[in-house]
Structure 1
Amino acid sequence: MFKIQREVAYAILLLLLLTGCKERNQVSTEITLKKPNVILIMADDQGWGDLSFHGNTNLNTPNIDAIAKNGVSFTNFFVQPVCSPTRAELLTGKYFNRLGVHGTSAGGERMDFSVPTIAEILRENGYQTAAFGKWHNGMQPPYHPNARGFDEFYGFASGHWGNYFSPLLEHNGELVQGSGFLTDDLADHSIDFMKANKDNPFFIYLPLNTPHSPMQVPNPYWDRFKNKELKMTYQNPEAENILFTRAALAMVENIDDNVGRILENLERLDLEENTIVIYLSDNGPNGWRWNGGMRGRKGSTDEGGVKTPFFIQWKDHIKMGTKVQSIGGAIDITPTLLGLLEIPKNDLQMDGKNLAPLIWDPGATFEDRILYNHWEGHTSLRTQDFRLDHENRLYEMNSDPGQKQDVSDKFQVLRDSLIREREKWLTQYPPLTHTSDTRPFTLGHPKYKFTQLPARDGVPSGKIERSNRFPNNTFFSQWTQARDSIFWDVDVLKKGKYQVTLYYSLPKDNEGVELILSQGKNILVKMLDTVHDPPLKGMENDRVERMESYIKDFKPIDMGIISLDAKRTPLVLKANRMKSSGPEVRLLQFERVD
């Protein structure tokens, strides 16, 4: 389609040249040189059923629905059961277990930096690239988004975040303070990037943070739902937390308003006809709520845990109201974008398929295939018509989306063949585990100025405790013994001098703690002589009690400059002397200064 449009443009240009149009240079440039923009929006923990487009009358999502109505919607589109694996597949076109991803925290979320991302490919083809939101595929370069093809990054590189109202974020590696409700803030940055690059082809990746917990949402949205009767509920009502569902739906309506602002600005900037807009979610719903009667939720390899909305709009290119029944998945997004943009894959070995032929013609012949879903030892296989679950039960999905009737006896040959395919896949791409993953955390990449080492990636000794069992966004506390310490398994990539900033809190009457940061014989000593004891926060904005860690306003303090050697050696933080308590530690920030 884009190829046909280009040929028409060349014909117009030739006509202008022949007629001697005085403005031919300006017109021809506008017609032939502007490549289509791409905006890829992904919600976090939104279920397939959390849209009015899919029949949920509990909420109203006209702007997200409009992407489907004005373009194409995929009826059977599948991602992975949790955040990081889906993101890795979306960005590369490869299954996550081929990329070293095996967890959602403590380094298990990092994807192989030798595999090019869609951002790197588009940047090589003249695009300005930006990511705004939750990255969740590695924090330290070369895993950081700025090292993975994104010119601009604003958001947080960890998994869940502890506060959605003006939180601590980062901008291209440097720690900054957010402005307002986080989802609104991320949309603002996307709109600003569109405006700044309206004359250049751009790629915006907008991985939002909601409706992932903590369940925080501005009052106007919460007020719509806090007492609302929900007419559509989960098929087992006793399992549903109605308050949690109300909060999630309120957060989705906030997402919808922000999608509306982005679409409105595209139209205002006269970019709508030259911009591909994609919308999806990263996994199934984060709670038991209405989801089309499907079995499973986030974390499950059943249909409800991995089926997501997938909508693509490209005004005047994709026929309005197109519906595709063929199965697709997150691994298909990169090859499909390359197909739509007519950028060759060259020698890239992708697991995904180019779905562009189906977008132009839903009736096009498309070979049946298997999509694999895997998490925590459970592997499920999806074909066009069947799903083999992790317990080897077979379901006919077109007639049984709730996976209620095992048809293994009826289709024994198919079941056995799918079991063999699963064994083959797991043998070919054995997933890593926390035990088998021996990669250190990187520090001091030669091309990047900043490196964060958060508490999430550290290991405490003695009585020091993590503030929550879910490591993302945690801090270390209960430092009551001078002999205890915290260490990070670090590989310094470039020898040099680094400015170190500690984000800490310190209880009253405990000033005078002497901290020592060391890498072998390289030592930095800092006296903490300022008490900083802020209260825990976050609960004042939570609509539902959270599982994750609450947070504090940690104080940054300049620890000084340390010389580091280029080698893999534990980086250790210990207290030489202290009173009754040492500091609570949120993170260390390193800035190369030589």
Structure 2
Amino acid sequence: MKTLLNQILIFLLAGLFSCSSDSEQGAVNAVDPIDPPENFPNILLIIADDMGKDATFGFDQGILKPQTPNINAIKNTGVSFQNFWSYPTCSPTRATVITGKYGYRTGVKWAGDILANSETSLQQYIDNQTNGRYKSAVVGKWHLSGNTANFNPLTFGLDYYAGILGGSVQNYFQWDLTTNGSTSSRSGYTSKVFTDLAMDWVEAQSSPWFLWLAFNAPHTPFHRPPAIMHNQGNLPNYSDGMDPMPYYLAAIEAMDFQIGRFLNGLSQQERDNTVIIFMGDNGTPNQAGQSPYANNAVKGSLYQGGINVPLFVSGQGVQRTADDFSLINSTDLFSTIAQLAGVSASEIHDSKSFKHLLTAEGNHREFQYSEMNAPNANKWTIANGHYKLIQGSDGLEELYNLESDPYETIDLIPPGLSQEAIAEKEALEAALFNIFN
């Protein structure tokens, strides 16, 4: 077991994490057969920024919940994936979705890491595989190219981009808006402006569209949204030292208000022909984290509170209203969205489509994986739905039984492992070896 861990450490230190194999690039360039022409659905991907299960309706984690009727409706009319894993911070999750690759392949393993424009994006892949059937846009938070417009998101094959390039804004009401490479100062509440821009873009489309709508809410700074958008009462302006929770919840409620405004702005025909995907990009920040998650087990960690986040899918073609416990990686959204757009291939890179789970129960992954580039060490984790292994380049090893200990309070390694746990750990390490090789 130590030999295998040493092999993984050598692989990490060799600098292979930022490389993509020629075979993978070839898989993107080869055009797969596509489904026959039909009324292909519009695809709406909504990303909430720093919204964990403890801040989301319908999960047992957390006590204080925002009022989110529109997000609730997405959940209640479709499939809620209970075992969806993201990355611990913003940029890597977005990179896995847009490339279908684990972070060690792209070099994006922490907030602010830059995605090379040599990567083939989900939007480019769909465009190549379907002969340009879809129009694509990203509106809102990008966080994959640094903070300047010199690295234009349009280089990733988008038809339209408008939003913030970096990870956050200093002021939700006064901020810099980048539109197709041009940046200017903008006033107005970000969640509303993003929604306005998204609605304007959709209204101008005559082809099937794929909209990536990435709110920066409820990411810090904590603030008081416009009163009409939230239900947290008469909040004073936020200042340091105040309880951030009502402001955090208010930002989620304001985002939900805007999601409802967007959906209600669609014609009934267009809404009926739209698949809606709602996801969190990582867990709740520690300032707003709730029990049963410990303070060190939220955003920025590989514990469940940092990476096991909401994922709901509803709308056109979704025939189930259920909780699904399949193991899902954020990479899997790449192939799933591509299949929704008519691409035949169900697997590419590190992505496996779960489109079949939108219509019936079924099997998906045996393992799920996440990772992070911590300040002093690389760390990674793998789980099989029963046991979860966390390791680090600094020698860290932790093993948890998620069935009996879902919030990772008892590390099984220090007291000595049972024969069952030894076998499970070895199986997880073997799966890690396959991932890295």
TM range (shorter): 0.7 to 0.9
Q: Distance in 2 between matches of 1:79 and 1:64?
A: 19
8 Å contact kept, 1:178–1:185 = no
Query: Kindly, what percent of the aligned residue pairs are identical?
Result: 27
Instruction: For 1:295-334, list aligned pairs within 5 A.
Output: 295=294, 296-315=297-316, 317-334=317-334
Q: Distance in 2 between matches of 1:342 and 1:327?
A: 23
Instruction: For 1:89-488, list aligned pairs within 5 A.
Output: 89-105=96-112, 109-124=113-128, 125=130, 126-139=133-146, 143-197=151-205, 199-220=206-227, 224=232, 243-266=243-266, 268=267, 270-289=269-288, 291=290, 293-295=292-294, 296-315=297-316, 317-345=317-345, 349-362=348-361, 364-376=362-374, 377-390=378-391, 391-408=396-413, 409-410=417-418, 411-419=421-429, 421-422=431-432, 425=435, 428=437
Q: Deviations over 1:298-353 (max 9, x none)?
A: 110111011110011124x212422211110210001111223331349x841011
Q: Distance in 2 between matches of 1:349 and 1:51?
A: 31
After TM superposition, the score normalised by the length of structure 1 is 0.59
User: Are the structure 2 counterparts of residues 278 and 51 from structure 1 closer, same or farther at C-alpha, using a change threshold of 3 Å?
Assistant: same
**Cα distance, 1:103 vs. partner?**
3.9
Q: How many pairs were matched up?
A: 378
User: Are the structure 2 counterparts of residues 287 and 157 from structure 1 closer, same or farther at C-alpha, using a change threshold of 3 Å?
Assistant: same
SS in 2 for 1:325: strand
Q: Distance in 2 between matches of 1:365 and 1:33?
A: 28
Q: Distance in 1 between matches of 2:251 and 2:92?
A: 23
Structure 2: runs of 5 or more not aligned: 1-34
**Cα distance, 1:290 vs. partner?**
5.1
Q: Distance in 2 between matches of 1:419 and 1:305?
A: 22
Q: Which amino acid in 2 is paired with 1:311?
A: F
**Cα distance, 1:255 vs. partner?**
0.9
SS in 1 for 2:44: strand
**Cα distance, 1:374 vs. partner?**
2.6
Q: Distance in 2 between matches of 1:291 and 1:368?
A: 30
8 Å contact kept, 2:389–2:400 = yes
8 Å contact kept, 1:111–1:143 = no
Q: Which amino acid in 1 is paired with 2:325?
A: Q
User: Are the structure 2 counterparts of residues 202 and 100 from structure 1 closer, same or farther at C-alpha, using a change threshold of 3 Å?
Assistant: same
Is residue 51 of structure 1 aligned with residue 52 of structure 2? no
User: Are the structure 2 counterparts of residues 73 and 416 from structure 1 closer, same or farther at C-alpha, using a change threshold of 3 Å?
Assistant: same
Larger radius of gyration: 1
**Cα distance, 1:57 vs. partner?**
4.8
Q: Distance in 2 between matches of 1:378 and 1:113?
A: 25
**Cα distance, 1:171 vs. partner?**
0.9
Greater relative contact order structure (CA < 8 Å, 6+ sep): 2
**Cα distance, 1:123 vs. partner?**
3.3
**Cα distance, 1:45 vs. partner?**
0.9
User: Are the structure 2 counterparts of residues 306 and 293 from structure 1 closer, same or farther at C-alpha, using a change threshold of 3 Å?
Assistant: same
Q: Distance in 2 between matches of 1:99 and 1:368?
A: 23
Report what 2:6 is aligned to. none
**Cα distance, 1:219 vs. partner?**
4.1
Q: Deviations over 1:391-412 (max 9, x none)?
A: 4222221332111233452311
RMSD in angstroms over aligned alpha carbons?
2.6
Q: Distance in 2 between matches of 1:123 and 1:302?
A: 36
Q: Deviations over 1:365-391 (max 9, x none)?
A: 335123233331222222222211234
Q: Deviations over 1:483-538 (max 9, x none)?
A: xxxxxxxxxxxxxxxxxxxxxxxxxxxxxxxxxxxxxxxxxxxxxxxxxxxxxxxx
**Cα distance, 1:186 vs. partner?**
0.2
Q: Deviations over 1:33-78 (max 9, x none)?
A: 5421111110111112212222555321111011111111101101
User: Are the structure 2 counterparts of residues 53 and 374 from structure 1 closer, same or farther at C-alpha, using a change threshold of 3 Å?
Assistant: same
8 Å contact kept, 1:301–1:373 = yes
Runs ≥4 residues deviating over 6 A: none
Structure 1: runs of 5 or more not aligned: 1-5, 8-31, 229-240, 429-594
Report what 1:581 is aligned to. none
8 Å contact kept, 2:54–2:290 = yes
Report what 2:18 is aligned to. none
Question: Per residue, is there more helix in 1 or in 2?
Answer: 2
Q: Distance in 1 between matches of 2:101 and 2:231?
A: 42
Q: Distance in 1 between matches of 2:312 and 2:65?
A: 21
Q: Distance in 2 between matches of 1:51 and 1:226?
A: 22
SS in 2 for 1:167: strand
Q: Distance in 1 between matches of 2:373 and 2:305?
A: 14
Q: Distance in 2 between matches of 1:225 and 1:196?
A: 37
Q: Which amino acid in 1 is paired with 2:115?
A: M
8 Å contact kept, 2:398–2:411 = yes
Instruction: For 1:543-562, list aligned pairs within 5 A.
Output: none
Q: Which amino acid in 1 is paired with 2:340?
A: L
Q: Distance in 2 between matches of 1:332 and 1:181?
A: 32
Q: Deviations over 1:397-447 (max 9, x none)?
A: 133211123345231121234345446656x5xxxxxxxxxxxxxxxxxxx
SS in 2 for 1:136: coil
SS in 2 for 1:52: coil
User: Are the structure 2 counterparts of residues 367 and 308 from structure 1 closer, same or farther at C-alpha, using a change threshold of 3 Å?
Assistant: closer
SS in 2 for 1:178: strand
SS in 1 for 2:51: coil
8 Å contact kept, 1:225–1:247 = no
**Cα distance, 1:355 vs. partner?**
0.7
